[in-house]
Amino acid sequence: MDYSHDVIFLRRRVKELEEKVEQLRLSRRVLMNLIEKLEKDKNSFQNRLEKENKKLLHTNYRYARWLLCKNRQIVELESKLEDRQTGNSAN
């Protein structure tokens, strides 16, 4: 029997499979790099959102304090106006 044909076929097949394995390794490296980049981008975006959220919370806090102060001024002015109107009607 002549096994040389079988040996040649098997060597080609082994070579093909080795090339596929190398392609898979390369693809895996590319995918891992993409995943790493996506993770970095996600973390960067999340950090930016957290900073923006803190800034907005601070701004909202200051605005709420300003509104409270203005509301107190309005109440005081209304109280003074009411006192004057009550005082004028008593005369």
Residues 22-57: pLDDT tens digits?
999 999 999 999 999 999 999 999 999 999 999 999
The verdict on pTM exceeding 0.75 is: no
Q: Would you state the pLDDT for residue 81?
A: 93
Q: Would you state the pLDDT for residue 44?
A: 98
Cα angle 32, 38, 42; round to 5: 145
How many whole angstroms separate alpha carbon 79 and alpha carbon 72?
Answer: 10
Give the pLDDT band of residue 2 (cuts 50, 70, 90). confident
How many whole angstroms separate alpha carbon 70 and alpha carbon 63?
Answer: 10
